């Protein structure tokens, strides 16, 4: 089935999951949504996280996705059941695959879990892990400052080292041999976390098992793309396109310092006309440069133009007939204005 897979996160962390999906299922197209306007989710209430997740799911449905991957541990913990009840496509979360991977990784049955405040408070990892093996000892720790550090691009900064040390120093006393990176942002701090915990502790990134579970599910439901057509990937952010671009540029500078072949930078023009009463603004970011620079991934087909439209997610008026007609299929999701600009 040649329809895209929807992937969403509160910010850029879910790109770690998107990358793994592309690696394991290279023939599939993706539609990625990063809710950068409302990051982080980890400090928000369940009602708020569910509300945001349902809004994004409605948007992804307008892109005709055949499955939705919740590439956010907090949303996986708090909103999965509501999303499953709302949509008629398969929903994959990152928590269950992460728990399975952790249980298979430990040798002494002592597992650590780090995540946002909401994820840790929910106890969802402990619940899944104890269902797999009741004998496991699970030590959990909320690390709320990790997400802002990642969103700011401070992957190997002295500040990051200090924060990681403060959060994880006490966890080493429990002699865990596996540590679940229970937020999709955290693998981007893998180097600092790994040095703090030591070589004896295996860092468990749920992205690998999530992509594997998705592939198995698509195969089971006969939804794999077997058309032979090259995939197209679309990336959306709710705010901070400049920050996304700045983040990509900084990663590109690191790559160029390691390579004699510099990569040509492309500029992106933006034309925004955002009304104050619009609850959420969704920008379709043509992200060829971003993904190539940050993750070294190449060979994708991208559109020639960037389309940006404002979307009224709750009780809005349908101002644009083309977008409005598409959104009428999904109650509570109305179309706004649409503009286009060239790269």
Residues taking part in catalysis: 72, 183
What is the greatest pairwise CA distance in the chain?
61
Query: Which structure tokens are listed for 113?
Result: 């879990």
Q: State how far Cα 171 lies from the chain centre.
A: 26
Residue 193, phi then psi, degrees to nearest 5: -60, -45
Q: Residue 289's closest CA among 281, 298, 280?
A: 298
Which three-class secondary structure state does DSSP give residue 193? helix
Q: Residue 142's closest CA among 224, 73, 62, 241?
A: 73
Please name the residue ranges forming H helices in the chain.
Answer: 15-24, 46-62, 73-86, 95-105, 117-122, 124-132, 146-151, 158-168, 190-197, 206-220, 241-258, 288-295, 321-327
Query: What residues form DSSP beta bridges with 59?
Result: none
* Alpha carbon distance 206, 179 (integer Å): 11
Which three-class secondary structure state does DSSP give residue 212? helix
* Alpha carbon distance 105, 109 (integer Å): 9
**Using alpha carbons only, how large is the chain's radius of gyration in Å?**
20
Query: What residues form DSSP beta bridges with 7?
Result: 32, 69
Q: Which helix (H) or strand (E) holds 285?
A: strand 280-285
CB 310 within 8 A of CB 262: no
* Alpha carbon distance 116, 75 (integer Å): 11
Query: What residues form DSSP beta bridges with 233?
Result: 30
Q: How many other CB atoms sit within 10 Å of the CB of residue 195?
A: 12
* Alpha carbon distance 96, 6 (integer Å): 18
């Amino acid at each position: 089935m040649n329809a895209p897979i929807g992937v969403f996160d509160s910010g850029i962390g879910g790109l770690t999951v998107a990358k793994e999906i592309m690696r394991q299922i290279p023939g599939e197209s993706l539609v990625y949504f990063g809710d950068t306007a409302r990051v982080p989710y980890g400090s928000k209430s369940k009602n708020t996280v569910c509300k945001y997740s349902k809004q994004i799911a409605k948007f992804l449905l307008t892109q005709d996705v055949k499955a939705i991957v919740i590439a956010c541990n907090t949303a996986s913990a708090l909103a999965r059941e509501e999303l499953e009840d709302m949509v008629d496509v398969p929903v994959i979360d990152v928590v269950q695959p992460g728990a399975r991977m952790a249980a298979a990784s430990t040798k002494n049955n002592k597992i650590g879990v780090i995540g946002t405040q909401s994820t840790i408070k929910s106890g969802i990892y402990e619940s899944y892990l104890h269902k797999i093996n009741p004998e496991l000892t699970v030590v959990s720790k909320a690390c709320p400052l990790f997400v802002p550090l990642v969103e700011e691009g401070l992957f190997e900064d002295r500040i990051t080292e200090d924060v990681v040390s403060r959060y994880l120093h006490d966890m080493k006393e429990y002699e865990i041999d596996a540590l679940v990176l229970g937020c999709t942002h955290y693998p981007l701090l893998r180097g600092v976390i790994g040095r703090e915990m030591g070589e004896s502790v295996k860092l468990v990134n749920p992205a690998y098992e999530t992509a594997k579970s998705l592939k198995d599910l698509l195969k089971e439901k006969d939804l794999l793309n077997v058309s032979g057509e090259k995939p197209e990937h679309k990336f959306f952010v709710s705010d901070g396109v400049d920050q996304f671009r700045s983040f990509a540029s900084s990663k590109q500078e690191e790559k160029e310092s390691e390579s004699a072949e510099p990569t040509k930078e492309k500029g992106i023009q933006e034309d925004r006309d955002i009304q104050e009463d619009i609850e959420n603004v969704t920008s379709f970011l043509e992200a060829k440069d971003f993904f190539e620079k940050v993750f070294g991934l190449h060979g994708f087909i991208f559109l020639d133009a960037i389309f940006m439209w404002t979307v009224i997610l709750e009780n809005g008026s349908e101002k644009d007939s083309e977008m409005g007609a598409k959104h009428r299929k999904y109650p509570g999701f109305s179309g706004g204005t649409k503009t286009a600009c060239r790269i």
